[in-house]
């Protein structure tokens, strides 16, 4: 089975071919990702109109390159899988319509994929993980904990009630005059900083509600930054280190709650695992904290290679493979309209094709 995947939901234009033969391990035959970071950097964040135009310009070439790299002719592709939501609607339209055109011209099935399902199933592509497992998704647009119980069977246990975690890193960077994207720059500055200089809040820590919140922390960072005039490099480093420590601490509280809940709800699971996905998974302080929590609670910690943690099309092609193999591809993907909002747990109910 060979599936061509297409991803255009945010600021990466991506295409990939994933193969699964018999009972063997899946193979990523090609995985091309064009990041638009430079186009958005001047604006300190992703500009939807610029993103959509950049997808239009790049997508054809990226798909051609992904097919060429894979060595598979379009005629030998079994299905086209494209991200249909959630995300920026301009980019989704570009990707899904291109996928529909290719599928119609080549007479192939079209599978509309939920971007979050792509992130959720990646650990099965990279590590052959069995259901159920726990997923922590921390990216620029999402901060969620999901119980992944099966294909199309996801329970969202926690989400952010305000900012996403990557967004909090990006906004903190902006306030401190560090370049976009903020995450890597905050992490780098933090290395030279004193993490205990500022006692920033740990939002939601100890709360019975399972969700995340980061806007209070952002406000505390702003207050600290504006109180110091002028800000020295050391001040910036100390704020970054203190911010990162607060984030790791707040996150640890939320994740240990979820690990305990997983134990309670899935007591028979032989090898319980926590999978991390999203760009924030690159952060070494956060990664070390998650590793420690897992070691303490008997969970296996799985962090797929960063290239498959951040937005990519291999995860979309793989979700297509999983759905095709399980006989769970929608009957008519051609009727599917892009959805800017599409919570993953709503996927458990049968998908309705037409938005007309």
Binding residues for substrate: 137-141, 170, 183, 187, 283
Binds Mg ion (CB under 5 A): choice among 262, 311, 319, 351:
311
Q: Is 7 in the site for Mg ion (CB under 5 A)?
A: no
Binds ligand ATP (CB under 6 A): choice among 181, 203, 304, 338:
181
Distance CA(61)–CA(169), nearest Å, equals 32
Query: Which helix (H) or strand (E) is 94 found in, with range?
Result: helix 89-106
- Minimum distance, C-beta of residue 127 to ligand ATP, in the bound complex (Å): 19
DSSP track, 170-182? HHHHHHTTPPSSH
111-140 residues near Fe ion, rule: CB under 5 A: 139
Binds ligand ATP (CB under 6 A): choice among 152, 166, 304, 338:
166
Residue count at the site for ligand ATP (CB under 6 A)? 23
What 3-state DSSP class applies to 67? helix
Distance CA(55)–CA(68), nearest Å, equals 19
Q: Which is nearer to Mg ion, 92 or 258 (CB)?
A: 92
Q: Is 167 in the site for Fe ion (CB under 5 A)?
A: no
| Known binding-site positions for Fe cation | 115, 119, 311
Q: Is 238 in the site for Fe ion (CB under 5 A)?
A: no
Could you tell me whether strands 133-138 and 273-277 are parallel, antiparallel, or unpaired per DSSP bridges? parallel
Token pair 């969700």 in the structure block, residue:
211
Distance CA(322)–CA(80), nearest Å, equals 13
Kindly list the distances between the CA atom of residue 120 and the CA atoms of 79, 113, 322, 330, in Å, as whole numbers in the listed order: 20, 12, 12, 19
From the list Fe ion, ligand ATP, Mg ion, none, pick the one residue 122 interacts with, judged by a Cβ distance below 5 to 8 Å according to partner type.
none
Contact stretch for Mg ion (CB under 5 A) within 180-188, 291-299, 311-319, 323-331? 311-319
Q: Is 184 in the site for ligand ATP (CB under 6 A)?
A: yes
Token pair 């052959």 in the structure block, residue:
128
Angle at 331 between CA 113 and CA 77, to 5 degrees: 65
- Minimum distance, C-beta of residue 314 to Mg ion, in the bound complex (Å): 15
132-161 residues near ligand ATP, rule: CB under 6 A: 139-142
Contact stretch for ligand ATP (CB under 6 A) within 5-13, 14-22, 291-299, 319-327? 5-13
Kindly list the distances between the CA atom of residue 132 and the CA atoms of 71, 126, 280, 327, in Å, as whole numbers in the listed order: 34, 16, 23, 19
Q: Is 7 in the site for Fe ion (CB under 5 A)?
A: no
Residue count at the site for Mg ion (CB under 5 A)? 3
Q: Which is nearer to Mg ion, 10 or 309 (CB)?
A: 10
Q: SS3 letters for 185-227?
A: HHHHHHCCCCCCCCCCCCCCCCCCCCCECCHHHHHHHHHHHHH
Q: SS3 letters for 269-302?
A: CCCCEEEEECHHHHCHHHHHHHHHHHHHHCCEEE
Distance CA(126)–CA(136), nearest Å, equals 16
Q: Is 170 in the site for Fe ion (CB under 5 A)?
A: no
From the list ligand ATP, Mg ion, Fe ion, none, pick the one residue 30 interacts with, judged by a Cβ distance below 5 to 8 Å according to partner type.
none
Q: Is 193 in the site for ligand ATP (CB under 6 A)?
A: no
Could you tell me whether strands 143-150 and 133-138 are parallel, antiparallel, or unpaired per DSSP bridges? antiparallel
- Minimum distance, C-beta of residue 170 to ligand ATP, in the bound complex (Å): 5
What is the DSSP secondary structure assignment for residue 51, as one 8-state letter? H
Q: Which is nearer to Mg ion, 11 or 235 (CB)?
A: 11
- Minimum distance, C-beta of residue 10 to Mg ion, in the bound complex (Å): 5
| Known binding-site positions | 115, 119, 137-141, 170, 183, 187, 283, 311
Q: Which is nearer to ligand ATP, 102 or 168 (CB)?
A: 168
Q: Is 311 in the site for Fe ion (CB under 5 A)?
A: yes
Question: Contact positions toward ligand ATP, by CB under 6 A?
Answer: 9-11, 87, 139-142, 166, 169-170, 181-184, 187, 278-280, 282-283, 310-311
Question: Contact positions toward Fe ion, by CB under 5 A?
Answer: 139, 311
């Amino acid at each position: 089975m060979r599936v061509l995947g297409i991803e255009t939901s945010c600021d990466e234009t991506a295409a990939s071919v994933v193969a699964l033969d018999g009972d063997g391990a899946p193979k990523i035959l090609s995985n091309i990702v064009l990041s638009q970071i430079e186009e958005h950097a001047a604006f300190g964040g992703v500009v939807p109109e610029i993103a959509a135009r950049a997808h239009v310009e790049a997508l054809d070439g990226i798909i051609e390159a992904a097919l060429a790299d894979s060595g598979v002719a379009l005629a030998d592709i079994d299905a086209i899988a494209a991200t249909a939501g959630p995300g920026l609607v301009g980019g989704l339209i570009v990707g899904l319509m291109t996928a529909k055109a290719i599928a119609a011209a080549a007479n192939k099935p079209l599978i509309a994929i939920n971007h979050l399902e792509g992130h959720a199933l990646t650990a099965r592509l990279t590590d052959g993980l069995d259901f159920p497992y726990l997923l922590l998704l921390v990216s620029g647009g999402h901060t969620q904990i999901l119980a992944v119980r099966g294909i199309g069977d996801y329970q969202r246990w926690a989400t952010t009630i305000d900012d996403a975690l990557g967004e909090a890193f990006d906004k903190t960077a902006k306030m401190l005059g560090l370049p976009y994207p903020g995450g890597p720059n905050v992490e780098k500055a933090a290395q030279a900083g004193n993490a205990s200089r500022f006692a920033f809040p740990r939002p939601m820590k100890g709360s019975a509600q399972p969700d995340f919140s980061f806007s209070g922390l952002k406000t505390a960072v702003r207050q600290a930054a504006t109180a110091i005039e002028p800000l020295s490099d050391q001040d910036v480093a100390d704020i970054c280190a203190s911010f990162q420590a607060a984030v790791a601490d707040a996150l640890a509280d939320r994740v240990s709650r979820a690990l305990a809940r997983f134990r309670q709800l899935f007591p028979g699971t032989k090898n319980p695992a926590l999978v991390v996905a999203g760009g924030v998974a690159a952060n070494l302080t956060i990664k070390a904290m998650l590793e420690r929590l897992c070691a303490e609670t008997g969970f296996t910690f799985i962090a797929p290679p960063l290239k498959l943690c951040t937005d990519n099309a291999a995860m979309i092609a793989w979700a297509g493979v999983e759905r095709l193999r399980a006989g769970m591809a929608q009957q008519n993907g051609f009727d599917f309209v892009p959805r800017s909002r599409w919570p993953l747990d709503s996927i458990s109910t049968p998908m309705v094709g037409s938005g007309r």
